[in-house]
Chains A and B, each alone.
Chain A
Amino acid sequence: MINPYVPYPVTIDDIQVATEDKSLKTFRFVFKNPGDEEKFSYKAGQFAELSIPGQGEIPIGIASSPTEKGFVMFTVFKTGKVTQYLHSMKVGETMGIRGPLGNWYPWDTLKGKNILIIGGGFAFTTLRSSIKMMLDPKNRGDYGNIDVVYGARTPGMLLYKDELVEWEKRDDIRMHLTVDSEAPNWNYHVGFTPAVTEKVAPQASDDTYAIVCGPPIMIKFTLPVLEKLGYKHDHIIMSLENRMKCGIGMCGRCNIGRELVCKDGPVFTLDQINLTPKEY
């Protein structure tokens, strides 16, 4: 019997401050034991428990793409006991990762479809994983148009800026970056994500799916925009968050109705979410 509570030991390989307020850092981990990377084989949209002995565990979306080999990457907001400690850790230190956990964006359904990605703030991690995966030359042909609306409070609060700039230059993905208000040297959109979505999003069709991941306020105002554009609820895909411990569907705290966000989710269509209590 495999013990699903025992994390894989990993070494912190790289740490980068991810935002101007230093509240987010991006960590790269390398597996200590040969073979563990293979066992950790994941899909874009899944999460893992970052496990620090003596501190605890936190469920965090996987920010690296399955097409990136040799490491896994997570961007973590400093907020509680474990994340505070993680932010103080150094390159070379050992900790654990448990996963991959949860389901993923429905890549089989999305094959051959146009994809509208809408992200806000630091919920861009699994979206970064998804974009990176789709843009891989081996995969790009599997998808139609890719539109990305990504907003943050200020330019300095956008994650993965180097890559955003790089993707902006490509012709096989349309980037629609936005910040809340005018900023020096900012040449892209200004305004909240829902408003920008309304302006730039492709019209709804059977072949177009929206993936929405962001803070509750962004989601609240983005869903009506998508409805107005004609997106059906089974074409709107969301990733939910709830407090978690086990991550394997046993400890009982992350449920929305009968669904467990950790195991049946975190990815649900709006259609599915409509049938459950809004306890997230």
Chain B
Amino acid sequence: MKIYHIDRESWVKGLAASAEVYQLVGPVREKDDFDFKVLDKGQMPDLTGTDTRLSPKALVFPKSEIMMTFSTDPNDPDCNIMKEAKKEYPKRAVIGIRPYDARALQILKMNYDNGDYQDPYFLNAYEAITFVGLAVNSPSSTDFSTSCGTGPFDEKGLDVLLVAAGEEGDFYAKILTDKGDAWAKAAGFSKEAGSDVSTRIEAMKKTAEEAISSKIAFDKIEKKTVLELFEADHWENTAFACINCGTCTYACPTCWCFDIQDENFGTKGVRIKNWDSCMTGLFTLHGSGHNPREHRYQRTRQRFMHKLKYFADKYGEGIMCVGCGRCVRQCPANIDIREICETMNK
């Protein structure tokens, strides 16, 4: 496995060179926060923030995406026939995605490629991306990623792992896949790092992991049955403060639920896929008026049961949370998944 040493000048040049072949995407500062955006020619990703406010999931699962188009014009021979929307999936390199966020997109992929069906919108977007991740040297106080089967240096969802090398703006770039290798070639990176680099990266990884003081455990959740956890008497209390605003579900990198809606413009229209949230009553409302999750606490319970139990039982790949801490930081009611996990794990 190759590890390159990239100094500041080569970095700027390399990104420009790879932009000839790849559409570059990276964090961009927006007021006080960061968001992943397609970079303009010559624009550099801003790697000074730890997490973007919203996760990078919109790169593969846009907030709103046209899936199909149609005409309802009776004179159109294709009246009322759905047509797959024409889409381009240019080769993309996502620069500076955090390792646990890249792992989160792998979790999304488990949902969108479920063995029986494949969501082409998600999968085409995902396959087109080369993930050039940036290790987290200084984890935030709400980072509990190491408890979630990932971490600040996790390589699972990445093609390249960048590690800020200490010197001004230098990186080590650890090539993890053929896709990563192709991107590094396009960028022209060729200076191999010194022989002690693996040891240095390991040491930095250890320091970063040890800096994470926030931990969760779900060993007892694993052993308890779904019904024991579901019927526990704490849920109304646990969910008391939750106003079902859905902020957590939108900020979350692993929340994958969506809605399908039609929009008409005269006799033309589109069928679109939108982010949805289990926090809303409409999410489960039957045509009859019956709602299996009528009460607010039932929806809160659904979210945590899904993340910490249903997903874990179904896939055997740990919990549906990567410990990025976005929901903890952004919840207006101070609901903390770590505390809820602790309650469930008693």
Using CB atoms and an 8 Å cutoff, list the residues of chain A in contact with chain B: 1-7, 9, 32, 51-58, 77, 79-80, 83, 93-96, 216, 241-243, 245-246, 248-255, 257-258, 263, 275-280
Contact B287 A248 (CB under 8 A): no
Stretch touching chain A among B46-54, B99-107, B151-159, B277-285: B277-285
Known A53-B70, A243-B284; judge A275-B117 contact (CB<8 A). Answer: no
Contact A96 B276 (CB under 8 A): no
Contact B313 A249 (CB under 8 A): no
Kindly list chain B residues whose C-beta atoms are within 8 Å of the C-beta of A251.
257-260, 276
Contact B260 A3 (CB under 8 A): no
Contact B84 A242 (CB under 8 A): no
Of residues 29 through 76 on chain B, the ones whose CB sits less than 8 Å from some CB of chain A are 67-68, 70-72
Kindly list chain A residues whose C-beta atoms are within 8 Å of the C-beta of B223.
none
Q: Decide if B195 is an interface residue (CB 8 Å cutoff).
A: no
Determine the residue in chain B with the shortest Cβ distance to A249.
Answer: B114
Contact A1 B82 (CB under 8 A): no
Contact A253 B81 (CB under 8 A): no
Contact A80 B117 (CB under 8 A): no
Known A248-B117, A250-B112, A257-B226; judge A94-B80 contact (CB<8 A). Answer: yes
Using CB atoms and an 8 Å cutoff, list the residues of chain B in contact with chain A: 67-68, 70-72, 79-82, 84, 111-112, 114, 116-120, 123-124, 225-227, 230-231, 256-262, 264, 269, 271, 276, 278, 283-288, 290, 292-293, 298, 302, 305-306, 309-311, 313-314
Contact B81 A246 (CB under 8 A): no
Determine the residue in chain B with the shortest Cβ distance to A78.
Answer: B287
Contact B112 A257 (CB under 8 A): no
Contact B72 A79 (CB under 8 A): no
Contact A3 B226 (CB under 8 A): no
Determine the residue in chain A with the shortest Cβ distance to B264.
Answer: A54
Contact A52 B118 (CB under 8 A): no
CA distance A252 to B309 in the complex (A): 15
Contact A280 B292 (CB under 8 A): yes
Determine the residue in chain A with the shortest Cβ distance to B301.
Answer: A277
Known A250-B256, A251-B258, A277-B227; judge A243-B117 contact (CB<8 A). Answer: no
* B68: contacting residue among A2, A6, A277, CB under 8 A: A6
* A3: contacting residue among B70, B84, B256, CB under 8 A: B84
Determine the residue in chain A with the shortest Cβ distance to B291.
Answer: A243
* A96: contacting residue among B82, B269, B286, B310, CB under 8 A: B82
Determine the residue in chain B with the shortest Cβ distance to A95.
Answer: B80
CA distance A245 to B311 in the complex (A): 20
Kindly list chain A residues whose C-beta atoms are within 8 Å of the C-beta of B82.
6-7, 9, 51, 53, 96
Determine the residue in chain B with the shortest Cβ distance to A276.
Answer: B226
Kindly list chain B residues whose C-beta atoms are within 8 Å of the C-beta of A257.
226, 230, 305, 310
Contact A6 B84 (CB under 8 A): yes
The 6 closest A-B pairs by CB, nearest first: A252-B257, A53-B70, A258-B310, A94-B80, A248-B117, A279-B292
A-side binding surface: helix, strand, loop or mixed? loop
Kindly list chain B residues whose C-beta atoms are within 8 Å of the C-beta of A9.
80-82
CA distance A241 to B292 in the complex (A): 11
Measured CB to CB, the closest approach of chain A to B86, in angstroms, equals 12
CA distance A171 to B259 in the complex (A): 48
Measured CB to CB, the closest approach of chain A to B308, in angstroms, equals 12
Measured CB to CB, the closest approach of chain B to A115, in angstroms, equals 27
Contact A94 B258 (CB under 8 A): no
CA distance A56 to B68 in the complex (A): 12
Contact A253 B284 (CB under 8 A): yes
Kindly list chain A residues whose C-beta atoms are within 8 Å of the C-beta of B123.
1
Measured CB to CB, the closest approach of chain B to A124, in angstroms, equals 16
CA distance A74 to B127 in the complex (A): 38
CA distance A2 to B292 in the complex (A): 33
CA distance A241 to B285 in the complex (A): 11
CA distance A252 to B313 in the complex (A): 16
Known contacts A54-B262, A248-B116; can you find 6 more A-B pairs with CB under 8 A?
A1-B124, A5-B119, A57-B260, A276-B227, A277-B305, A278-B292
Contact B80 A93 (CB under 8 A): yes
Contact B119 A250 (CB under 8 A): yes
Contact B80 A245 (CB under 8 A): no
CA distance A220 to B182 in the complex (A): 61
* A245: contacting residue among B72, B258, B306, CB under 8 A: B258
Measured CB to CB, the closest approach of chain B to A142, in angstroms, equals 26
Kindly list chain A residues whose C-beta atoms are within 8 Å of the C-beta of B292.
242, 278-280
Contact B80 A53 (CB under 8 A): yes
Q: What are 29 sample pairs from A and B whose C-beta atoms fall under 8 A apart?
A: A1-B118, A2-B118, A4-B117, A4-B118, A4-B119, A5-B260, A6-B68, A9-B81, A53-B262, A56-B262, A94-B81, A216-B290, A242-B292, A243-B284, A243-B285, A245-B258, A245-B260, A251-B259, A252-B256, A252-B306, A253-B283, A255-B310, A258-B226, A258-B309, A276-B226, A277-B230, A277-B231, A278-B292, A279-B298
